[in-house]
Amino acid sequence: MSIRSSAEWGALESHFASVKDTHLRDLFAADPGRGDTMHAEAGDIYLDYSKNRLTSETLQLLLALAERADLRQHIDDMFSGKKINVTERRAVLHTALRAPRDAVIEVDGHNVVPDVHEVLDRMAAFSERVRTGDWTGATEKRIRNVINIGIGGSDLGPAMAFEALKNFSDRDMTFQYVSNIDGTAFVEATRGLDPAETLFVICSKTFTTLETMTNAHTARNWVVDTLGDAAVEHHFVAASTNSEEVARFGIDTDNMFPFWDWVGGRYSYDSAIGLSLMVAIGPERFGEMLAGFHAMDEHFRTAPFDRNLPVLLGLIGIWYNNFFGAETVSILPYDQYLWRLTSYFQQLDMESDGKSVDRSGDPVDVQTGPIVWGQPGTNGQHAYYQLIHQGTKLIPCDFIGFAKPTHDVGDHHNLLMANYFAQPEALAFGKTREEVEAEGVPDHQVPHRVFRGNHPTNSILVSELTPHTLGQLIALYEHKVFTQGWIWDINSFDQWGVELGKVLANRIIPVLDAAEDPDLDHDSSTNALIRRFRRLR
Ligand code: F6P
């Protein structure tokens, strides 16, 4: 039975009709203490969800929905290695990537935790060799530059985390992330670099992805042109599940760091895919990050749902997505180091929950994953916040801020955080016509300067940005996405939707290269565009 037909969903629908027009101003007036009560905490993360358009009854009804969806059982199934990725018949065990050494997590009767730690140990040994200069290039020059080549989950995770933790990285080295098949990405990343000092980490779960393999071959040529074929083993390592393809590329499989089919690409940066990050920040910091992930995993697995951060975030998201009809969610980190966080969350959420059939293959009868977007504050405030404040759309926002600054420069941090506090306040309470008029605003401007308010936000306040808190934050959102996917009864762990475009691109490649004008058998629009491209090129 679809969740939509459940009594719990029906109860939420009736409740929605009675609260949908209630203003946050009224909710705070009726319960002035809601800012103190509507919060939850886990580890270093404090979540204030009081500025949401919900009451304690809403919350009870949402929690009942989670019970109805048997969420607890499904959480246990994921953590215990059940094959919950039903379409690919795979376990979903990114949580095993950060499990302590003595944990036991079995897939098909095999404990995977020792395998995880064996790879982590190899990564640590390798990272230390690069960081200390013991691992050198073909001419025995020290490695100064690390370039990660990958795309999607094999890029966004390590790239986001490297940027987030840059302050913990070895500043005598450079780290770059090449993903786009546009040759510009490779050319700009290698501009001015000495191949003899450059190490490529080729990251690809499948080791067949067009973009990654094209960039990897270009990198290989770039190294070989200067240093010869024998240099490849000194300048290339790989993270992959496909040792055959790694060997075929010419990388010594001793320099391959494996992971497993139960690690989804967008959940993979704790695995060997994080190698460039480990080289950057060192194994100890990487371990602290994994411990942060694990702490949030344990919270998600064990905390009661009414105090469970990922569950609360997931349920609140469902409230807007499925009852208010909000189409998007904006994630707004108030920290410059997190400038790639929202891109990372886009893949995490939109590739996971962008589905329109349920786990049995039947069309869903509820809205599924939202459109995720945003960029760091305060930049966005001077760009698109206007629409959030005064546009016609309902855009729930997550504000993420840190109590301690990474760099204590003058009064920057207090100014940043004043904005972090002010925006949710302005969004919630707005400014009434009476207030605007009382300010003596000219009549013709009054309607333009009224802020309706009642825009919902979550405020996520973290102690400071460290590897440990980053791990907690990322796991928080991973499990939020899981919570929502289960309640919608979709498989959050496959991504068949990206296939069709890949297949069609492969059909078009030879046509672009053909010497003679090819017979085109696409639709008239695609045919005309290809012809024009061939003429102009
Ligand atoms: O095309 C989508 C996708 O499969 C993502 O899910 C994945 O993260 C990315 O491509 C890269 O895949 P791979 O690691 O196999 O190169």
DSSP codes, 146-205: EEEE--GGGTHHHHHHHHHTGGGS-TTSEEEEE--SSHHHHHHHHTT--GGGEEEEEE-S
Cβ(249)–Cβ(152) below 8 Å? no
- Check residue 62 and give left, alpha or beta (phi > 0: left; psi -120 to 50: alpha): alpha
Give the pLDDT mean for 102-114.
97
For 426-477, the pLDDT digits (tens) are: 999 999 999 999 999 999 999 999 999 999 999 999 999 999 999 999 999 9
Q: Cβ contacts of residue 384 below 8 Å, gap of 6+?
A: none
Amino acid at 218: T
Average pLDDT of the segment spanning 388-409: 98
502 vs 362: CA distance, rounded Å: 25
Which residue in 219, 213, 275, 200 sits closest to 242, CA to CA? Answer: 213
What pLDDT is attached to residue 502? Answer: 87
3-state secondary structure 267-324: HCCCCHHHHHHHHHHCHHHHHHHHHHHHHHHHHHHHCCHHHCHHHHHHHHHHHHHHHH
Catalytic residue status for 413:
no
Mutate which of 87, 148, 154 for ligand 1 pocket (most atoms within 8 A of beta carbon):
154
220-226-230-232 Cα dihedral, nearest 10 degrees: -30
Name the band, by pLDDT with cuts 50, 70 and 90, for residue 1.
confident
469-479 tens-digit pLDDT:
999 999 999 99
Identify the bridge partners of residue 250 per DSSP, sorted by sequence position. Answer: none
Q: What percent of the chain has pLDDT over 90?
A: 97
Ligand 1 centre distance from Cα of residue 233 (Å): 25
pLDDT digits (tens, 9 = 90+) for 165-189: 999 999 999 999 999 999 999 999 9
**Residue appearing with tokens 């990958």:** 150
pLDDT digits (tens, 9 = 90+) for 314-343: 999 999 999 999 999 999 999 999 999 999
Q: In the prediction, which pLDDT does 274 show?
A: 98
Say if residues 150 and 179 touch (Cβ distance below 8 Å): yes
Task: Determine contact, residues 179/155, Cβ cutoff 8 Å.
Answer: yes
Residue 157 confidence (pLDDT) above 90: yes
CA of 417 to the centre of ligand 1 (A): 36
How high is the pLDDT of residue 374?
97
Q: Is the CB of 348 under 6 A from ligand 1?
A: no
CA of 103 to the centre of ligand 1 (A): 29
Mutate to test the pocket of ligand 1, among 156, 160, 271, 495 (most ligand atoms within 8 A of CB): 495
* Ligand 1 center to 327 CA (angstroms): 25
Question: What pLDDT does residue 339 have?
Answer: 98
Q: Which of 354, 106, 179, 156 is nearest to 268 (CA)?
A: 156
Q: Mean pLDDT across the stretch 374-398?
A: 96
Handedness of CA 299, 301, 303, 306 (dihedral sign): positive
pLDDT of residue 260: 97
- Report the residue count for the chain: 537
Region 19-25 average pLDDT: 98
What is the CA 321 to chain-centroid distance, rounded?
Answer: 19
Q: Is the pLDDT of residue 143 over 90?
A: yes
3-state SS, residue 110: strand
CA distance 440 to 321: 39
Amino acid at 250: G
> Exactly one of 163, 211, 351, 478 is catalytic; which is it?
351
Question: Does the pLDDT value for residue 243 go beyond 90?
Answer: yes
Q: Of all atoms in ligand 1, which is nearest to the CA of residue 268?
A: 8
Question: Which pTM was predicted?
Answer: 0.97
Whether 382 is a known active-site residue: answer: yes
Cβ(154) – ligand 1 distance below 6 Å: yes
CA gap 333, 325 in Å, rounded: 24
398 strand-pairing partners: 331, 458
- Per residue in 289-320, pLDDT (tens digit) is 999 999 999 999 999 999 999 999 999 999 99
Please, which residues bridge with residue 47 across strands?
40, 460
Please tell me which residue in 140, 382, 444, 516 is annotated as part of the active site. Answer: 382
Pairing outcome for strands 236-240 and 328-333: unpaired
What's the token pair of residue 277? Answer: 């990050």
Kindly state the tokens that stand for 33.
Answer: 């203490």
| Amino acid, single-letter form, for residue 275 | L
The arithmetic mean of pLDDT across residues 46-74, rounded, is 98
* Ligand 1 centroid distance, CA of 154 (Å): 7
Atom number of ligand 1 nearest to Cα 273: 14
CA distance 198 to 136: 9
Please check the confidence at residue 219 and state whether its pLDDT lies above 90.
yes
pLDDT 10s digits, 246-297: 999 999 999 999 999 999 999 999 999 999 999 999 999 999 999 999 999 9
Average pLDDT of the segment spanning 22-34: 98
What pLDDT, on a 0 to 100 scale, did the predictor assign at position 494?
97
Pocket flag, ligand 1, residue 264 (CB < 6 Å): no
Active site annotation includes 351: yes
Give residue 447's identity as a one-letter amino acid code: P
* Alpha-carbon span 103 to 114, nearest angstrom: 9
Q: Is the predicted pLDDT of residue 244 greater than 90, yes or no? A: yes
